[in-house]
Amino acid sequence: MTRWLDEEEQRTWRAFLHASRALWDRLDRELQRDAGMPHAYYEILVRLSEAPQRMLRMSDLAEATLSSRSRLSHAVARLEEYGWVRREDCPTDRRGQLAVLTDQGFQVLAEAAHGHVEGVRTHLFDQLTPEQAAQLRQISEAMLDHLDPGRALY
């Protein structure tokens, strides 16, 4: 027996759906326009830049970016073409591959970051009160606890 949404829930759901999609589309488009890469690729570069030695196992990188292994393989192949990432064999597991951020990749990321962060501020934080930002964090964490329990955010 389906538990339908009442009027109020319906409106909340649609508002959330549209807001998050509109924000996503906007940021993704800005990044594509200004930095020539989709947000998915940006995220890969960010995670690599924060990792020790700026390198990560493919599977860890996939997990960190909420991406399937397949998707990551394709993405890294392309980032490698651009010269932003390079692959190395993993010394401790012969199945493994390490994705390594190149100096050029780091450069590109550093330039892209300015505009993107400005976008996040303009389109998200500037629109919310500090209380709302705190609420949004709690709400998001509640969702994450359910959807992806036991995951480290950092």
To the nearest whole angstrom, how small is the minimum distance from the Cβ of residue 6 to DNA? 28
Partner from a copy of itself, DNA, none contacting 53, C-beta within 5 to 8 A by type: none
Binding region for DNA (CB under 7 A): 25, 29, 32, 37-38, 40-41, 57-60, 62, 67-78, 87, 90, 93-98
Alpha helices in 36-129 (DSSP H): 39-50, 58-64, 69-82, 103-123
Contact 29, 21 (CB under 8 A): no
Distance from chain centroid for Cα 73 = 16
Tell me which residue of 45, 60, 49, 47 sits closest to 90, measured CA to CA. 60
To the nearest whole angstrom, how small is the minimum distance from the Cβ of residue 129 to DNA? 30
Residues that bind a copy of itself (CB under 8 A): 2-5, 9, 11-16, 18-26, 66, 113-114, 117-118, 120-121, 123-128, 132-148, 153-154
